[in-house]
Structure 1
């Protein structure tokens, strides 16, 4: 997996580690393909009961890799649609894994990184954790991750942070429900082990059924919704505004709407 993801299994617990700290664990199309394959295998492994997701370095995940974004900026609508659909499949798999998922966040999670966090059942974080739905800054929208983020923090908070792209502190994330518990860094993993012991003491089939019950009662992100979000991000990426936002970002200059705002 090109040293971007490692997988370790010990008994009925698995660990997924993002191992690309030099790029703040940003992901690209190859990462998405590898992560999807890994999740597919985990889903099929009935001996696994808990999956822990953690990351090396200062960031949990910065979202989309810059080189990947440069390639996406040149994609056609059809290519963007296929690209977004691949991410949608990865997130859908993670969200609906039959196993309990625990994310350990000890740094920044931006864009798609917030999507990964939102898809996990339990999120343990430190004060260094921060979150941002930054897409509108470059003229895009958090479309593919939106069903899971809205489910995690609610429509009201999403109406704010989708539009402002403000950085959400660890404390704010805790109050919003994106983070389950806020802990000191030195006890983060210890708390994860405690939760794992608690989970493993419960009935295996009952835990899986309890997780499935939540989706059955509260509704699910169906294929039509997943397709709709992929279509939305593909459309805005190839739009005039999306192209301007991406170009300005890579040229390290203000986008034209920022210039207009300053002139006003």
Structure 2
């Protein structure tokens, strides 16, 4: 049996490819576990600078495997809760991964597949990409992925797409914030590599910390505490070895130590 997830490493770049093409890379427990474990390992490996998430075959990910869903429909509430928590751990791990992530969306993404796209820091798609939060057609809702999709597209858009289960194209995904860029299929790899290059030229600690800063800034409950925390963060970065190297390289008009060799 083929591995549900293909893992490729090229220097600082880790590529994770969903590998259930005959089922449009739909989730089942094995794929969820494999992807969660791979992301946790990436987060613990300081040599990993960028993670690219992609799908094998025609689709990015169709969301939940229908056979898996059929089995869970026959299970009890406790089993379904544990199953949903496993998917929630995957999404949380991806969203909070201390490494920049890029979704390479070459084809359709539905349900949980949309969740994966929303959890990535950068999402690039082609005109062949289509999207849908189709759970309401089944009497369900995209509950587990909702925090990440709402953060990506906003509450106004989420209210529409969650309720209608309507599918939408790549241009619509771009306009509502789910995708950052739409490029022709033959330009997709170049567009992804351009972002990889930018991320590899950024300071590793700064790039890894950026999403935590954004998350904190987006949920300010105490403005004074937020200002203090941000001041603490920039102070730590300025005196850190990385901050010292970055400032020194800029002043000396040279490339910093972490920049790829030209």
Q: TM above 0.5, one fold? A: yes
Q: CA deviation at 1:2?
A: 4.0
Q: CA RMSD in A?
A: 1.2
Greater relative CO (CA pairs within 8 A, separation 6+): 1
State the Cα distance separating 1:209 from its structure 2 match. Answer: 2.1
Q: Does 1:166 align with 2:162?
A: no
Structure 1 match to 2:181: 181
Q: 1: CA distance between counterparts of 2:167 and 2:157?
A: 13
- For residue 151 of structure 1, report the CA deviation from its aligned partner: 0.4
- Paired with 2:12 and 2:103, the residues of 1 have a C-alpha distance of 17
SS of alignment partner, residue 131 of structure 1: strand
Q: Shift in Å at residue 3 of structure 1?
A: 2.1
Q: Structure 2, unaligned stretches of length 5 or more?
A: 221-262
What residue is the counterpart of 2:52 in the other structure?
52
For 1:61, what is the secondary structure of its paired residue? coil
Measured in 1, the distance between the counterparts of 2:80 and 2:130 equals 28
- Measured after TM superposition, the shift of residue 211 of structure 1 is 2.1
Counterpart of 1:197? 197
Structure 1 position 125 matched with structure 2 position 125? yes
Report the alpha carbon displacement of residue 31 of structure 1 after superposing the two structures with TM.
1.1
CA displacement, residues 5-59 of structure 1 (integer Å, 9 cap, x when unaligned):
1011111110001121111000111211111111111111111110001111111
Q: Secondary structure at the match of 1:142?
A: coil
Give the distance between the partners of 1:189 and 1:93, measured in 2 at CA. 25
Q: Would you say the 8 A contact 2:26–2:65 is kept in 1?
A: yes
Distance 1:198 1:42 in 2: 19
Q: Does 1:91 align with 2:88?
A: no
Cα shift readout 1:172-200 (whole Å, capped 9, x = no counterpart): 00000000000000010111111111111
Larger radius of gyration: 2
Shift of 1:219: 3.3
Cα distance in 2 for partners of 1:217, 1:113 equals 27
Q: How does 1:15-54 map to 2 (within 5 A)?
A: 15-54=15-54
1:202-256, CA deviations, whole angstroms, 9 ceiling, x for partnerless residues?
A: 1111112222211122239xxxxxxxxxxxxxxxxxxxxxxxxxxxxxxxxxxxx
Q: Measure, in 2, the Cα distance between the counterparts of 1:147 and 1:62.
A: 19
Q: State the SS of the aligned residue for 1:148.
A: helix
Counterpart for residue 9 of structure 2: 9
Q: Distance in 1 between matches of 2:112 and 2:213?
A: 26
Give me the whole-angstrom Cα distance separating, in 2, the residues matched to 1:160 and 1:6: 35
What's the TM-score, normalizing by structure 2? Answer: 0.82
The answer for the alignment partner of 1:109 in structure 2 is: 109
